[in-house]
A and B are shown apart, each in its own frame.
Chain A
Amino acid sequence: MISKIGLRNVLRNKRRSFLSALAIGIGLASLIIADGFLIGMRESVIKIVTETYLGHAQIHSMGYRENPEPENFVKNLPEITTKLNSLQEIQAWATRIISVGMIKSPSNMQNVEIIGIDKLKESKISKIKKVIVKGKYLEHAQDILIGRRLAEKLDLKLGEKIVLTVAQVFSGELTQELFKLSGIFQFGVKEQDAGMVFILDSRLAEMLQSHNRVQEVVIKLHDLKNSESKSHPLWRKLEFQGNEFESWSDLVPSVLAVLSMSDQSVGIIATLLLFIVLLGILNTLFMSIFERMYEFGVLQALGTRKLMVFKMILSEALWLGLFSLVIGSVLSVLVSLMMNINGVSYAGIEMGEITLTGPIYVVMTLKQFIYYPLLLILFTLLAAIYPGIHATKITLAEAMKKSL
């Protein structure tokens, strides 16, 4: 019965109720979208960071990252690979052979970072296969992939010859080999597109005379969370003597910091929005009460209990909240659908040590549609307390005095 009364009161002044519900609904929608955007940003950023090239985690010989000398091979590789194959948390892994060298075309030459990859394993970990804009992925022994900027500088077209020169790891002797440009890639990251080349690891191992050793192991996990906390048992399993197991957040620490800063901001925005919501409800309820002063006076004169009056106000507030909820939810779904048509483009923008290469999408989760609406209803009810109490105090005499 009370709920019917509440509803009727809300519908009495449709325009006012609508405007209030709209204002509050926008607040809710903003909150949901901000939350969704942040989740999307976090997901997109982490995805971009880890899937483009870095992987979820990497293993190197201790000190390799400070001193990337080619003879700093990953230690105990056979044991590590056995371990990696046995661990359930690991979705995929790949080894990379890394060396610096010189690439030469008829027009030009340049120092580059040469990555020897296991073509099958690598395609499951990094985007290299997917970011090829011209040509094909590595297939034959003489295939090489170079970045678009490098291809421009060297004035190279697909199928043309290039010469790679490296120094053998132990003897230091120079080796030159012929390659054919099989594909041009574009990661969207300046440094990679201008300074990295990919060849089959077997080829590079041959040139370097590095035998079966590698400088880097890249790992992809089933669940990203496993890589973030250093206390996770996974770390201990993989940190063999002499090697370092680092997650992506160790490799590019500033990214995590920027993301956490954004998280804090949303918390602050949420608080602000809820406060405005509070004000809005207060105002609306008071206006509604004022309008019906006479009515409340009569109710009191008729002997209606204070609690009943209070509940009436609460019920009205609740209905208002529910309408806001509906408006807010619909708005948030619509807006996020619109935003997700193309995503929010952050391409080319640098965040910390990495360059973002793609758009960010808003992520809708169930939590958003349960948690925030509940919060809203809660606030609505809280906000209704003061007006509610005020309404219970209206006496007929007062009411008659105040109305025209």
Chain B
Amino acid sequence: MIKNIFGKVLFLFMSFAYIIHNNPIYANNRAKIIPDLALILARVDQQYRFKTGHAELEMQIKTKNWQRTMRLEMWTKGLKKTLITIKTPKKDAGITTLRLAKSMWNYFPKINKVIKVPPSMMMGSWMGSDFTNDDLVKESTYLEDYSAKFSSGPAPDKYYIELRPKKNTVSVWDKVNLVVDKKTLILRQQENFDERGEKVRTMLFSDIKIMGGQLIPTTMSISSHKHQGNQTIVRYLSATFNKEMLDSVFSRRNLQKKR
């Protein structure tokens, strides 16, 4: 028997909680929340990668000093193999980049040379864009290397997720905010913050279409907040995903192929 007032209140409270807890409506939602986060992140990590991918892209880069538009052809397999070749402008046509895990090579058709990219060039931005090689070839994944939690946001049809790198994750960011479509689980916006809580970079994903059998945002734009006026916009013109692709595509031999 419950002896005192406190005990009685506690008992009542706990019963109430038990009922609520097991109420089907609430139970259902609760079951939805935790596993979905892992699913969402896995989906985000894979957004453009899939098992294999072959796409034609247009990249528009605007900086304080110059601006240019390039057309690229890109092959990807998994998270670590990438081959990109420049199709236009003519001046850079044929310049091809091969990235395999921790190494990168460039091929310059004009001088017919394959060059292993030294670290100084590797960590720089890719082709002067706001993308670093980390973005092109994800070294770390949100699923495994970041702690995630849901946060709140204005739109009811979007998930707002806040990510912080885990202790051993090598990243300059302190926080990454993602905005993901609830229905399609497509990443719509990514904001990178530094340790002072200042927003350094914003990536926007739009123009969601079905391409190559997959639903993807075909336009990606990055704006840098520290270097005012810098912006990079990437548009998928066409793509096929998950088709058979040999590892030999990602070889030095293939790098040098005349295109």
Contact A176–B120 (Cβ < 8 Å): no
- Quick one: given A107-B226, A109-B124, A173-B102, are A163 and B119 in contact (CB under 8 Å)? no
> Does A102 lie within 8 Å of B171, measured CB to CB?
no
Chain A, residues 86-112, CB within 8 Å of chain B (1/0): the string is: 000000000000001110111111010
Alpha-carbon distance between A155 and B200 when the two chains are bound, in angstroms: 12
Q: B170 in the interface, Cβ–Cβ < 8 Å? A: yes
Q: How far apart sit A10 and B118, CA to CA, in the bound complex (Å)?
A: 82
In the bound complex, what is the Cα–Cα distance between A161 and B192 (angstroms)? 14
Asked if A167 is at the interface (CB within 8 A of a chain B CB), the reply is yes
Task: Indicate if A165 sits at the interface (CB-CB under 8 A).
Answer: yes
The number of residues on chain B lying at the interface, defined by a beta carbon within 8 Å of a beta carbon of chain A, is: 23
Contacting pair A106 B200 (CB below 8 A):
yes
A362 proximal to B (CB < 8 A)? no
Tell yes or no: B252 within 8 A of A by CB: no
Chain A positions within 8 Å of B, measured between CB atoms, are 100-102, 104-109, 111, 155, 157, 159-163, 165-167, 172-178
Kindly provide the distance from the CB of A347 to the nearest chain B CB, expressed in whole angstroms: 32
Residues in B with CB closer than 8 Å to A109 are 123-124
Known A160-B195, A163-B171; contact A172-B226, beta-carbon cutoff 8 A: no
Nearest chain-A residue to B116 (Cβ)?
Answer: A172
Please, which residue of chain B has its CB at the minimum distance from the CB of A162? B172
Cross-chain contact A172 with B103 (CB below 8 angstroms): yes
B181 at the interface (CB under 8 A from A): no
User: What DSSP secondary structure best describes chain B's contact surface?
Assistant: loop
Chain A residues within 8 Å of B135, by CB: none
Within 8 Å CB of B192, what residues of A?
106
9 A–B contacts from the bound complex (CB under 8 Å)? A100-B120, A161-B171, A163-B172, A173-B103, A174-B102, A174-B122, A176-B139, A176-B170, A178-B169
A-B contacts at CB below 8 angstroms, number: 65
Q: State whether A161 touches B124 (Cβ < 8 A).
A: no
A165 adjacent to B119 (CB under 8 Å): yes
User: A106 touching B226 by the CB < 8 A rule?
Assistant: yes
**Which chain A residues border B116 with CB–CB below 8 Å?**
172
Contact yes or no, A178 B171, CB < 8 A: yes
Q: Bound state CA distance, A175 and B122, in angstroms?
A: 11
Chain A residue numbers with a CB within 8 Å of B102 are: 173-175
Chain A interface SS verdict (over half): strand
Interface string of B154-191 (1 = CB under 8 A from A): 00000000000000111111100000000000000000
Partner of B123, one of A102, A106, A107, A155: A102
Q: Whole-angstrom distance from the CB of B170 to the nearest CB of chain A? A: 5
Residue of A nearest to B167 (CB): A178
Whether the Cβ atoms of B196 and A157 lie closer than 8 Å is yes
Give A174 to B120 CA distance when docked, in angstroms.
10
Task: Give the CA-CA distance A144 to B122 in the complex, in Å.
Answer: 21
B185-227, CB under 8 A of A: which get 1 and which 0?
0000000101110001000000000000000000000000010
Contact, CB under 8 Å: B172 / A161:
yes
Tell which of A108, A159, A162, A163 has the most Cβ of chain B within 10 Å. A163
10 additional A-B residue pairs with CB within 8 Å, beyond A102-B120, A111-B120, A173-B102: A102-B124, A105-B172, A109-B124, A160-B195, A161-B195, A163-B170, A165-B123, A173-B103, A176-B139, A176-B170
Q: Report A114 CB to chain B, min CB distance, Å.
A: 11
Binary contact track B87-121/A, C-beta < 8 Å → 1, others 0: 00000000000000011000000000000101110
Most buried by A among B169, B174, B194, B196: B194
Name the residue among B122, B123, B168, B200 with the largest chain A CB count within 10 angstroms. Answer: B123
- Of all chain A residues, the one with the shortest Cβ separation from B125 is A109
Rounded to whole Å, the gap between the CB of B233 and the closest CB of chain A is 21
Residues of B within 8 A of A108 (CB): 226
| Interchain nearest-CB distance for A157 vs B (Å) | 7
Chain A: minimal CB distance from B101 (Å): 8
- Given the complex, which residues of A lie within 8 Å of B170, measured CB to CB? 163, 176-178
The 4 closest A-B pairs by CB, nearest first: A106-B194, A102-B123, A107-B226, A173-B102
User: Nearest Cβ distance between residue B114 and chain A, in whole angstroms?
Assistant: 14
Give the shortest distance, in Å, between A329 (CB) and chain B (any CB): 60
Q: Is the CB of B173 within 8 A of A104?
A: no
Judge whether A101 and B119 touch: CB under 8 Å: yes
Q: A174 vs B80: C-alpha distance in the bound complex, in angstroms?
A: 14
Closest Cβ of chain A to B153, distance in Å, is 23
Whether A161 lies near B174 (C-beta < 8 A) is yes
B119 touches A107 (CB 8 A): no
Cβ of A105: which chain B residues have Cβ within 8 Å of it?
172, 194
Cα separation A175 to B102 with both chains bound (whole Å): 7
- In the complex, the answer to whether A174 meets B103 with C-beta atoms within 8 Å is yes
- Please report the C-alpha to C-alpha distance between residue A196 and residue B74 in the assembled complex, in whole angstroms: 37
* Chain A residues, CB < 8 A from B103: 172-174
User: Using Cβ atoms and an 8 Å threshold, which residues of chain B touch A106?
Assistant: 172-173, 192, 194-195, 200, 226
Which chain A positions have C-beta within 8 A of B119? 100-102, 165-167, 174
Q: What's the minimum C-beta distance from A150 to chain B, rounded to whole angstroms?
A: 15
Cβ of A196 to closest chain B Cβ, rounded Å:
15
Expressed in whole angstroms, the Cα–Cα distance for A146 and B171 within the complex equals 18
Contact of A165 among B122, B194, B195 (CB under 8 A): B122
Asked whether B120 lies within 8 Å of A155 as measured between CB atoms, the reply is no
For chain B, residues 219 to 248, give those with C-beta under 8 angstroms from any C-beta of chain A. 226
Q: B118: which A residues are within 8 A, CB to CB?
A: 167
Contacts of B171 in A (CB 8 A): 161, 163, 178
Closest to B133 in A: A174
B113 CB → nearest A CB, Å: 17
Q: What residues of chain B lie closer than 8 Å to A166, measured between beta carbons? A: 119
CB distance from A71 to the nearest CB of B (A): 14
Contacts of B195 in A (CB 8 A): 106, 157, 159-161
A177 to B119 CA separation, bound complex (whole angstroms): 13
CA distance A174 to B122 in the complex (A): 9
- Docked complex Cα distance between A107 and B103 (Å): 24
Contact assessment for B200 and A107 in the assembled complex, using a CB-CB cutoff below 8 Å? yes
